[in-house]
Chain A
Amino acid sequence: MRLAVGMLVAALGFTGPAIPESAAEIEGIQLQVDGLSCPFCALGLDKRLKQRAGLEGIQVHLKQGVTEAALPRGHGIEVGKVRRAVQEAGFTLRGIKLTVIGTISKDGDDVTVTSRHDGTTFLLFDAEHQDTEAGSTLSQALRQQLEHAQQTNRLVKLSGLVHEHAGLPDGLMVESFEELTE
């Protein structure tokens, strides 16, 4: 139901109640790439991530099977394009882990972090709270922390795996949360 309402809202282009201006920056992108098993293969990942997904500063760590990348200033991340770039390089994207700094917004039950510069919004989920009891995707403890950050308009630092939602903002499965003091 919550997702259906969200999709309807997105389809109508209705952004809901005024969301306070936020400042979200994606500090780091870590791609978990399966199938990466040789140095000679890494060039393809480098090229496709730059050309198709617009990423830069790409560093492949073979032993860990991960690739670190950065976004050009002012550009948001498009998970679908990253997934396709990895596929075109001949590999499989298992996951994208992001570290985001920004401010928190609330729209009904949904809690999001949104970029001031490019409009990228992540719907927040709790990695420790997968059963979505009572329609909530966040544990009570994390919800309270996020709501506190929103009320005080404090910057937060969130890290976690990103996943796609049809018709909704990408989801960020929060693995770590930190309220920043300015």
Chain B
Amino acid sequence: MTFQRWLIASLVVFMVPPSASGVAINSDVGLTPFKGQWIYRSQLRYTKKADDPSPQDRKLEIFAMPQTLVYGFTEKTSVILTIPFLSKELDSTADGIRTNRGDAGLGDLLLLGKYRLYAKDYPTAASRFSLVAGTDLPTGQSGDADARGKLSRDLQLGSGSADPLVGGAYTWQSLDDEWDVSLTYTFNTTANKFEFGDVLSYTVAYQRRVWPFTLPERGLYAQWNVVLEANGQWEQKAKSHGGRVDNTGGHLLFLSPGVQVATKHFVIETSIQLPVLQNLNGNQLEPDFVLIGSIRTTF
């Protein structure tokens, strides 16, 4: 599973909006922003992939800084734009020489529309289901090269293709806790005679308020939540020249504990994604962990 595919699949959940409390950190939610609401989310995601059994002893480090802007046209319909800035560095050994290659810059933009299909409100609780659809746009470079020649697909900033996706998310939210379940399917298309495999992403997230332990009778308060998420991605093998490509695709499942603070105007959160299932095809670098820090603000 290349990082580019994995990142786009993950970006889908970065849109996590807003009308949301707490809301999960790495999972999409059924909640939508209010009419006229703007939400800005800035993230830093550090991914480390090492533990390469091959003689190349590859080590890949990725800093991704997705910047997400959400606008609610109505209380049911919103648009989400994510602009990712990426930095990738790969250390590997060839012919006994340790080399370093990498790239940095703008990745593929992700443009999504979200529609709230179902809403049921209760005193101090809400149930929501929303559909999401959109595409990533090939704004990231997919043919970058350095002094040694063209970079591998893992190090390119973009996929070179526009890839539509559809999905849905359900949320149950109360003053004490929240459940989120989401499913997203990305239809990857061909670029440069290469087609990444389609990606199915699924998440289940649970969030619990831990402070204040007893809610004040009146007013608003800053709320501390602990979050536990299961973030899974299954990817088909890529296609090239009419055949399937080995060393691509597979199944990854992360368990992601996190903590967040939510107030009326902002949410600050951090999470770590730890792989609990890595069933990748062939010889691929497996992620060691992903570290996430994020801030959301609304206006």
The interface of chain A, by Cβ under 8 A from chain B, is: 32, 34-45, 47-48, 51, 59-65, 87-92, 94
Contact = CB atoms under 8 A, between A and B. Distances in A.
Nearest to B36: A47
Q: Interface SS of chain A: helix, strand, loop or mixed?
A: mixed
Given A35-B122, A37-B173, A91-B121, A43 B298 contact: yes
A41 B19 contact: yes
A165 to B, nearest CB: 24
- The 8 A-B pairs of least Cβ separation, nearest first, read A38-B21, A35-B121, A44-B34, A34-B121, A92-B121, A88-B35, A35-B126, A63-B215
Given A39-B262, A40-B263, A62-B124, A89 B75 contact: yes
B265 interface: yes
A33 B178 CA distance: 19
Interface of B: 18-23, 31-37, 74-75, 119, 121-126, 173-175, 215-223, 262-267, 296, 298
B219 A40 contact: no
A61 B223 contact: no
A90 B273 CA distance: 31
26 contacts: A34-B122, A36-B126, A38-B175, A38-B262, A39-B220, A39-B223, A39-B262, A39-B263, A40-B20, A40-B21, A40-B22, A40-B23, A40-B265, A40-B266, A40-B267, A47-B36, A59-B219, A61-B217, A61-B218, A62-B215, A63-B215, A65-B123, A88-B74, A90-B31, A90-B33, A94-B123
Contacts of A45: 34
Contact of B21 (A41, A47, A48, A61): A41
B67 to A, nearest CB: 19
A28 to B, nearest CB: 14
Contacts of B262: 38-40
A41 B123 contact: no
B124 A47 contact: no
Contact of A62 (B20, B32, B175, B266): B175
A43 B223 CA distance: 15
A43 B264 contact: yes
A88 B298 contact: no
Given A34-B121, A37-B21, A90 B220 contact: no
